[in-house]
Amino acid sequence: MNLLKEAGGVTFAVRAILKKFHHRRFILFLLLVCLLLIPGALTGAGSVTVLITGSLVAVVLKYMGLDNIRVAAIIFIIAGLSAAAPPVSLWAMLTAAGINMPYVGFFLPLLLPCLLGALLTIFILGWKARPVDIEKALAEIPVPPEKMNWWRLTLPFSVFLALVVAGRVFPFSFPILGLPLIFALTALVTILASPVRVNVWKTALNTTEQLLPLVGTLTCVGVLVQIMTLTGVRGLISVSVVTLPVVVVVASLFLTLPLSEAVLMWGAAPVLGVPLVLLFNTRGLDPVVALAGMSLIWPLGDALPPTAIIGRLTMDTVGVKERYSSFLKMCLVPAMIIALLGTLMIIFSKKLSFLTIF
């Protein structure tokens, strides 16, 4: 995504969408949601969405008459959903690894609710939006390279999608490349298709700097989980969870999952997610769909203290000067809807098991 940004693809997409659909709010919102979902879905980090496309989308939303608090809430919620969206959902990956469950069949169970939640968020919080002041908005968005076009922009994504789908459609004749190699090949295509010369080394350094907090957090999470395992705390949590009535567990997920994310961040997945999925599996629920529903709720905790990393990053990116409590209040309604959606996915996971086909 950073290579594509340096090549001018992100600014080209935002300007092209704005020019074409500035007078059609429904289509404009739909395309802005897609722009916000892609970076986090490919990296597993909502902060990447905020840094790469969040600032540009914020400009568009501000010139639609939305105040800074409302814009920040929209970008934060969708950035969190982008981190839960496929193909890279760290909560689902870490939990699946903890119970030796293959990370297979999560694409549709994660994609559809994340897309639905993102659309509901932008339409609920953006219902007061006016037609974009096209001239002022375009003046603030950087101009892309002259030779940038849709072909250069969509080619890397087409290659990525083709490699992912080929491994699923032809499992016995197409080699298993793995996501790291697929991303490397996609990055190579991005460099070759770029209309300008991209400084790969500088982009790599910037990307490393962006993802260093993510890597550091995951490392600390691993250390924390091992310490909790050695001291018996993880076992105590597991026993406590599996001995509670299922109704109580499911009814309290909208509180326990965001709070665990606020304290442990991704560590909540192996610590709390593993016993929960095992419990749901023993009660006849589909573990894949249930885990996808939980992954939908976890990102909501990224706005809660004591960490609140992505929440504060979003406020800084958008330029919000109001109190943090005002930002939390603005996020409340879409967060409740997303939590309800995730809970319903868990309850009806058996009936939604057909989604695990891909």
Largest CA distance in the chain: 63
User: Which pLDDT tens digit goes with each residue over 232-286?
Assistant: 887 887 788 778 888 999 999 999 999 888 887 888 888 889 889 999 998 899 9
Is the pLDDT at 215 greater than 80? The verdict is no
Q: Are the C-beta atoms of residues 45 and 83 closer than 8 Å to each other?
A: yes
Assign 252 to helix, strand or coil: coil
CA distance 190 to 174: 23
What is the pLDDT at residue 120? Answer: 96
Is the pLDDT at 179 greater than 80? The verdict is no
Bond preceding residue 156 cis, omega within 30 of 0: no
Task: Provide the angle, in degrees to the nearest 10, between the axes of the packed helices 200-231 and 233-243.
Answer: 80
CA distance 296 to 204: 30
Segment 48-74 shows an average pLDDT of: 89
What is the pLDDT at residue 175? Answer: 85
The pair of structure tokens assigned to 32 is 């802005």
